[in-house]
């Protein structure tokens, strides 16, 4: 071994680097440009550019890929490097835009959802694309420029195939991978195989290594369906054997049993908007009224992943987490899930859903059947598209037209459970225009020094901004909900009905958009200087914590309850189950009316409790009360529980575990 390293050292010292560089200009241009772009995307996203480890990883991957160019004749080698430069640039551009919207990285498993981009194209152009997203194109330009210069100098005519360099570069790339592997911990290896903590993987491995590992991970479900079932089945059984369901028993148990249920899926409504007023005008007076009269959970999180609205529907309905690869709505809709809808159906309820968008958006025409809905009223199949805002029928028209269906359903069924999916408050929010009467300019009064008269003036404030348009859109959505409640009351539809309202996810508005909102100087109409003592810095943690959404349960019975305890979409099924008299032994959440120390897990592995928010990608935490320190054991325990919940939920989704094991149980019970 010692002799090997001595020989390696001698080769390194005696190597003719000048000749090598002169004979490998195109290859080196490709490698250097790719490494720089890999570094740039980490700078613009995870802010990780001082760590040498992802550079080594990416460099090894690039060298190995580039080495195969030497199996091609010199004059055609350029095409190979151009194609890979286009692929690598596309990887960087797509992930740069994706990170802006989701604070995560894209996956090959999401190709099945790419058709949805057509419907939200305006949102991508207005709210997601930035100039920095296209800086990676310089690699393609550099390759073209170098190639043209080499052509003019007759460079390719002087070269031979250099196939021995292919072998040497492969060895060089593998050698770098070996060096890199010595820096990996068991946790690093676990995270790249599970892929749910994508930000950490990119920080640790680099963008190219992540993307190639993601391709493998995305193919894993198909492979594991043949080979990985037994392991997942054991994880599934062990978890539920150690975490058996215990029914809640509190003063609210069965309080709504036998009542109808109308669930309002409030598109992109965040909780902080309920605490916001512009010029003394509340953004959400109707939601605030319902919250003050009913059961209101103001520290509630959506827990959605890349499936956004469909993920929230899934977690709301099943008390499971979204899929770690792909989306349930597109990739795993045909599984047997224990849903709220099926629980109510077992109690004799008629189950329906309504939406003012295309029936096939997020595959809802099939997804809702899988959940247990009897009928899906959607778009042109059920509604007159008389007023379009954004993606489809306006919320006010949607709700107004829905009343006739609600009356008919109520007349023909002893009990019913329905979901109404709102649409107008969907990014990019610029569609709202004249449909909202909220004024987001800043109004103020001043006294004229000469006449002494009071003069009314205004600053543009949030007018014309993304956040300003969002506030207008939320105000419109709130008015639509108020109109629906009023119309239902007039028709007698509220007398035996419980209204459940949840925000499906945050508005996906960039952190920079809040700068003007938090740091507006009312004296000057400008943004405060960062050195001003009143300047409020919006940290990454504040931005993350601000993503919470409202969860309200209201009825005419005036059952009043206020909770600031941490809760999430995964807790809805157990909570409603306690109120209406049903349960699911597979629920991963808790009854919010009974739980004390709740843990809300996000699909990327981050988690939050009443005591702290933990970022698993960075291994950092934000304590909510510094007077009560957190032990390492507390963090490790919750990390393990978060990982366990993600793994168990994903096993259920990928392997259709519930249907499979219950089928086996039935066969054994019947002696088959």
**Number of Cβ within a 10 Å radius of residue 365:** 15
Q: What is the distance, to the nearest Å, from the Cα of residue 60 to the centroid of all Cα atoms in its chain?
A: 31
Query: What is the Cβ-side half-sphere exposure of residue 295, based on CA atoms within 13 angstroms?
Result: 21
| All structural domains of the chain | 2-227 (no CATH), 238-669 (3.40.720.10)
pLDDT digits (tens, 9 = 90+) for 356-393: 998 888 889 999 999 999 999 998 889 999 999 988 89
- pLDDT in the model for residue 4: 47
Q: Measuring CA to CA, how many Å separate 223 from each of 14, 42, 111, 231, 655?
A: 47, 31, 18, 13, 11
Segments of the chain with pLDDT less than 70:
1-17, 101-103, 109-129, 159-162, 187, 190-191, 193-197, 217-228, 449, 664-672
Q: What is the C-alpha separation between 22 and 545, in angstroms, rounded?
A: 54
Q: Which residue has the tokens 């993304």?
A: 466
Q: Give the angle 547-503-610 at the CA atoms, nearest 5°.
A: 50
Which residues lie below 8 Å from residue 184, measured CB to CB, with a gap of 6+?
none
What's the rounded Cα separation, in Å, for the pair 83 and 29? 14
Neighbours of 50 (CB within 10 A): 6
Given this model, what pLDDT does residue 103 score?
65
420 has which bridge partners? 264, 354
Main-chain phi, psi angles of 392, to 5 degrees? 180, -150
Query: Which residues on adjacent β-strands are paired with residue 455?
Result: 446
Task: Tell me which residue of 257, 232, 583 sits closest to 415, measured CA to CA.
Answer: 257
Reported pTM:
0.80
Distance CA 404, CA 335 (A): 33
pLDDT of residue 5: 47
Q: Which of 501, 520, 512, 437 lies closest to 471, judged by CA?
A: 437
For residues 500, 614, 546 and 516, what is the CA-based torsion angle, rounded to 10 degrees?
-170
- Say which residues have a Cβ less than 8 Å from residue 6's Cβ, sequence separation at least 6: none
Q: For 522, phi and psi rounded to 5 degrees?
A: -65, -15
Percent pLDDT > 90 in the chain is: 53
With tokens 């990014």, the residue in question is 427
| pLDDT score, position 102 | 62
192 neighbors 201 (Cβ within 8 angstroms): yes
Residue 533's contacts (CB-CB under 8 Å, 6 or more residues apart) are: none
Distance CA 476, CA 440 (A): 13
Q: Find the largest Cα–Cα distance for the chain.
A: 98
Mean pLDDT, the chain, rounded, equals: 87
Contacts of 600 (CB under 8 A, 6+ apart): 301, 303, 566, 567, 568, 570, 571, 607, 608, 609
CB 434 within 8 A of CB 413: no
CA 409 to chain centre: 35
User: Would you state the structure tokens that stand for residue 318, as one six-digit string?
Assistant: 């099943």
pLDDT at res. 106: 76
DSSP secondary structure letters along 477-526: HHHHHHHHHHHHHHTT-STTEEEEEEE-S-----GGGGHHHHSEETTTTE
The tokens describing 570, both together, are: 């995964």
Tokens of 250: 């509190």
């Amino acid at each position: 071994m010692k002799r090997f390293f001595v020989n390696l050292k001698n080769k390194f010292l005696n190597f003719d680097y000048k000749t090598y560089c002169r004979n490998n200009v195109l290859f080196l241009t490709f490698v250097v440009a790719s490494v720089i772009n890999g570094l740039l995307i980490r700078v613009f996203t995870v802010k990780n550019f001082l760590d040498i480890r992802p550079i080594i990883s990416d460099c090894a991957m690039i060298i190995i890929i580039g080495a195969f160019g030497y199996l091609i004749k010199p004059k055609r080698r350029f095409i190979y490097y151009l194609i890979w430069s286009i692929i690598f640039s596309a990887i960087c551009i797509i992930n740069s835009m994706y990170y802006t919207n989701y604070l995560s990285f894209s996956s090959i498993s999401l190709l099945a959802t790419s058709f949805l981009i057509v419907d939200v194209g305006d949102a991508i152009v207005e709210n997601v694309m930035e100039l920095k997203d296209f800086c990676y194109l310089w690699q393609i330009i550099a390759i073209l420029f170098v190639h043209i210069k080499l052509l003019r100098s007759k460079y390719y005519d002087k070269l031979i195939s250099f196939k021995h360099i292919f072998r040497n570069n492969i060895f060089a790339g593998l050698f770098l991978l070996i060096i890199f592997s010595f820096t990996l911990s068991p946790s690093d290896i676990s995270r790249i195989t599970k892929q749910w903590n994508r930000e950490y993987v990119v920080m640790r491995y680099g963008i190219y290594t992540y993307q190639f590992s993601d391709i493998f991970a995305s193919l894993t479900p198909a492979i594991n369906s043949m080979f990985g079932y037994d392991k997942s089945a054991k994880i599934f059984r062990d978890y539920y054997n150690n975490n058996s369901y215990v029914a809640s028993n509190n003063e609210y148990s069965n309080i709504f049993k036998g009542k109808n249920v109308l669930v309002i899926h409030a598109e992109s409504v965040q909780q902080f908007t309920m605490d916001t007023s512009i010029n003394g005008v509340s953004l959400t007076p109707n939601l605030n009224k319902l919250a003050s009269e009913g059961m209101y959970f103001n520290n509630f999180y959506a827990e959605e992943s890349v499936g956004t609205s469909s993920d929230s529907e899934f977690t709301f309905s099943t008390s499971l987490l979204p899929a770690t690869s792909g989306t349930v709505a597109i990739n795993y809709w045909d599984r047997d899930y224990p849903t709220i809808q099926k629980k109510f159906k077992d109690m004799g309820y008629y189950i329906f859903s309504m939406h003012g968008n295309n029936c096939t958006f997020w595959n809802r025409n099939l997804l809702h059947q899988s959940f247990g809905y009897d009928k899906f009223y959607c778009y042109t199949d059920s509604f007159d598209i008389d007023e379009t805002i954004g993606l489809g029928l306006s919320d006010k028209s949607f709700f107004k037209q829905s009343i006739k269906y609600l009356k008919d359903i109520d007349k023909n069924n002893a009990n019913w459970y329905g979901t109404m999916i709102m649409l107008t408050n969907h990014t990019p929010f610029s569609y709202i225009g004249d449909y909202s009467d909220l004024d987001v300019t800043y109004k103020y009064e001043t006294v004229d020094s000469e006449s002494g008269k009071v003069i009314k003036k205004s600053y543009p404030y949030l007018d014309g901004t993304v956040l300003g348009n969002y506030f207008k859109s939320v105000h419109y959505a709130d008015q639509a909900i108020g109109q629906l409640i009023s119309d239902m009351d007039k028709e007698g539809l509220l007398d035996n009905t419980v209204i459940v309202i949840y925000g499906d996810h945050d508005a996906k508005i960039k952190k920079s958009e809040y700068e003007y909102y938090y740091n507006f100087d009312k004296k000057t109409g400008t943004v405060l200087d960062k050195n001003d003592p009143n300047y409020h810095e919006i940290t990454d943690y504040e931005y993350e914590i601000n993503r919470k959404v409202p969860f309200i349960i209201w009825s005419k019975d005036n059952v009043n309850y206020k909770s600031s305890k941490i809760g999430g979409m995964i807790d809805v099924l157990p909570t409603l189950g306690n109120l209406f008299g049903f349960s699911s032994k597979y629920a991963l959440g808790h009854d919010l009316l009974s739980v004390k120390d709740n843990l809300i897990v996000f699909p990327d592995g981050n988690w939050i409790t009443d005591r702290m928010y933990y970022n698993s990608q960075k291994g950092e935490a934000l304590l909510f009360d510094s007077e009560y320190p957190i032990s390492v054991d507390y963090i490790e325990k919750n990390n393990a529980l978060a990982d366990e919940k993600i793994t168990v939920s994903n096993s259920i989704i990928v392997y259709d575990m519930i249907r499979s094991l219950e089928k086996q149980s039935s066969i054994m019970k019947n002696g088959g």
